Amino acid sequence: MNLSREAWEVKRKNGFARFLLIDGILFTGGPFAVILQVVGYFLFAWGEKTFGQYFTDGQTWLTFMLHGTLFGGIMGFIKWRRYQRAYPATET
């Protein structure tokens, strides 16, 4: 686990949607999508398009958004569940 109980309590209070958006999609899905797009250029577009043409193409941005959102959303949900199990809510 990366977070302490105190840090998790703060994130839990901010809510699931915020956790999913920031920790899941932004911090996990974003870097994943960037890596996939760079790898995608070398696997599929190298020689057909320049690097600039590939990254200004609408299809590239669509796949970037899909990769980032899907992977980030799934990983955010998994992280939320793991932290919920590791640090159960305390009744105050």
Tens of pLDDT, residue by residue, the chain (92 residues) = 578 999 999 999 999 999 999 999 999 999 999 999 889 888 877 778 888 888 888 988 999 999 999 999 999 999 999 999 999 887 65
Assigned domain for 17 exists: yes
Assigned domain for 82 exists: yes
Please report the pLDDT score of residue 32 as a whole number: 94
Assigned domain for 67 exists: yes
User: Are the beta carbons of 11 and 59 closer than 8 angstroms?
Assistant: no
Please report the pLDDT score of residue 19 as a whole number: 96
Domain that holds residue 55: 9-86
Is 3 buried (19+), middle (13-18) or exposed (0-12) by CB count in 10 A?
middle
Q: Whole-prediction pTM value?
A: 0.81
Q: How many domains does the chain have?
A: 1
Assigned domain for 2 exists: no
Please report the pLDDT score of residue 91 as a whole number: 61
Spatial distance between the Cα atoms of 29 and 23, rounded to a whole number of angstroms = 9
Assigned domain for 92 exists: no
